[in-house]
A and B are shown apart, each in its own frame.
Chain A
Amino acid sequence: MEETLMDIDLKDKEEYIVNMGPQHPSTHGVLRFETCLQGEKVKYIIPHCGYIHRGIEKMCEKLTYPQLLHLTDRMDYLSAHINNEAVSLCVENAMGIEVSDRVKYIRTIFAELTRIASHQLWWSAFGMDLGALTTFFYGLRDREKILDIFEETTGTRLIQSFITPGGLMADVHPNFQRRIKEFITYFRKKLPEYDQLLTGNIIFRERTKGIGVMSKELAIDYGVTGPSGRGSGFHCDIRKIAPYSAYPFVKFNEIIFPEGDTYARYLVRMKEMWESLNVLEQLVDNIPQGQIMLELKAIKAPKGEYYQRVETARGELGVYIVSDGGPSPARMKFRTPNFSNLFIINKIASGHKIADLVAISGSLDLVIPDIDR
């Protein structure tokens, strides 16, 4: 049976148990924090997940590889392209095929655009969690430009299902490169505005500096990856450790801050947006010619077990396929970044005020459907 705080004998009658969620606006989804409070202080937290469990791993077993891709979009919906890419790379590795350089470049461009769009939305929502509503409108205004680039090529804005095993669903739109270049110049001007609005703000700094400190050891113990892990000085960028797609061809820095507090996690994401713009600039003019979709008779992984990991906007996504040689997997397992990132919250938020809990959970950048799958 699941242990809840209700079962724990409360010796101190000053303690209260408060549910934050599942419909709390700053949990960004249906997640419940069972919070034990002593006055305004958080004593400990038990996160409860499963409110948006859809059984995606089990559903994948009934579908062929191209079909199951559209389910992976719906895990971490803010990194839809990268989730598609992870499954595609895993299936391609299993089949022993390699896509053309053109496909690799376009996939990486889409992945970096996704990363920027995801960080923009996170920045908007993080400001809003801390009481600065303006950031929400500014972030979404700039995110719209990326969504337009997606929509023009893929036809949809949030969940694209564009990257498939063997290549891409279609070639990019003729306006693709021009729009990205326009976006790079536009967003380079807007990013300093973000810093003036929020990063420098005294209220924001007071609320984030020294709050929710996560040591490097703790991050490694709990498997906290992505910007949250790098904010604690944990070298965990899969793009650097095990480069895939077009990442071996580009130069970029892995952003690491050793402080480990909420402000450091914030700065990692802000700096990552600059790095992603650099990566885009290196790729967008050099897209080589090549085949968009390999001509495959059937997409079947040979019998065996395969694993592929990629870096999404939130951390390390691992795709594990057990195949019996058929057109669909015998078992599919996703190692999602948010699941690992969530459970650190009891360690780092205990002892802080309840308002800081909102700042800490915001800085972990949780996407709830990715936790529950």
Chain B
Amino acid sequence: MALLKTIKEVGNYFNEIYDGVASLVRGMKVTGGYFIKRGQIVTQKYPENRATLKMFDNFKGELQLIHDENNQHSCNVCNTCARKCPNGSIEVIYKKVEGADGRSKKILDKYIYHLETCSFCGLCVPACDEHALRFDQEFEHAVFDKSKLTKVLNKPGSTCKVVKE
């Protein structure tokens, strides 16, 4: 009986070794298979493919004040986006000018966007009734100086399409 038990134990011992080696071979077969299979490369050569790299349409890059071909935006200084922003990343600075009818109007002076505090929650874009804002496709945000992250979004010399009365 004792001999039988010993034989069984020895058998189990070698079985375990066999199972262990077989499991390693099974795993190696998966990794080895990828050396042979073609068309399974999933990596991209990033800085080289900048020209062809395209983000999805909804991608949240940097905030952008939409300007048309006449250098006109549609911000009417209602300040809703700045109030919706949880981090205070948006400052809308206006100036008062005298309109054609002699009454003073608010027009956009500077639309300041703090990229350094923006958390890309996306509350500002749907908040705008004039659809003046959108996120662009820019994703390379790294700069050497923090002050470069504070941006003025309205282009120089731009005017407003709709002026708030």
Contact = CB atoms under 8 A, between A and B. Distances in A.
B24 interface: yes
Interface string B50-64: 000001101110000
Contacts of B27: 196-198, 200-201
B86 A67 contact: yes
A161 interface: yes
B58 A152 contact: yes
Interface in A158-179: 159, 161, 169-170, 173
A18 interface: no
A151 B135 CA distance: 13
Given A154-B58, A173-B58, A200-B27, A70 B19 contact: no
Interface in A165-220: 169-170, 173, 193, 196-198, 200-203, 205
B120 A151 contact: no
Interface stretch (B93-101, B121-129, B142-150, B153-161): B121-129
A357 interface: no
A193 to B, nearest CB: 5
A63 interface: yes
B83 to A, nearest CB: 10
A161 B24 CA distance: 43
Describe A's contact surface by its main secondary structure: helix
B24 to A, nearest CB: 7
Interface in A338-370: none
A156 B20 contact: no
A143 to B, nearest CB: 11
B42 A156 contact: no
A196 to B, nearest CB: 5
Interface string B110-136: 000000000111110010000000010
Nearest to A148: B56
Contact of A202 (B20, B60, B84): B20
B59 A155 contact: yes
Given A155-B135, A202-B20, A197 B122 contact: no
Interface in A120-165: 134, 141, 144, 148, 151-156, 159, 161
A341 B30 CA distance: 34
Interface residues of A, number: 31
Interface in B68-91: 84, 86
Contacts of B120: 155-156, 159, 161
Contacts of A45: none
Contacts of A154: 58
B23 A68 contact: no
B6 interface: no
A266 B54 CA distance: 37
A369 to B, nearest CB: 14
A197 B32 CA distance: 11
A203 B21 CA distance: 10
A69 interface: yes
A67 B56 contact: no
27 contacts: A66-B84, A70-B123, A71-B86, A141-B42, A148-B56, A151-B59, A152-B58, A153-B58, A154-B58, A155-B56, A155-B58, A155-B59, A155-B122, A155-B135, A156-B59, A156-B60, A161-B121, A169-B126, A193-B30, A196-B30, A198-B27, A200-B23, A200-B27, A202-B19, A202-B20, A202-B21, A203-B24
Given A141-B42, A200-B26, 7 more contacts: A70-B119, A70-B123, A134-B31, A155-B58, A161-B121, A170-B58, A201-B27
Interface of B: 19-21, 23-24, 26-27, 29-31, 42, 55-56, 58-60, 84, 86, 119-123, 126, 135
Interface of A: 63, 66-71, 134, 141, 144, 148, 151-156, 159, 161, 169-170, 173, 193, 196-198, 200-203, 205
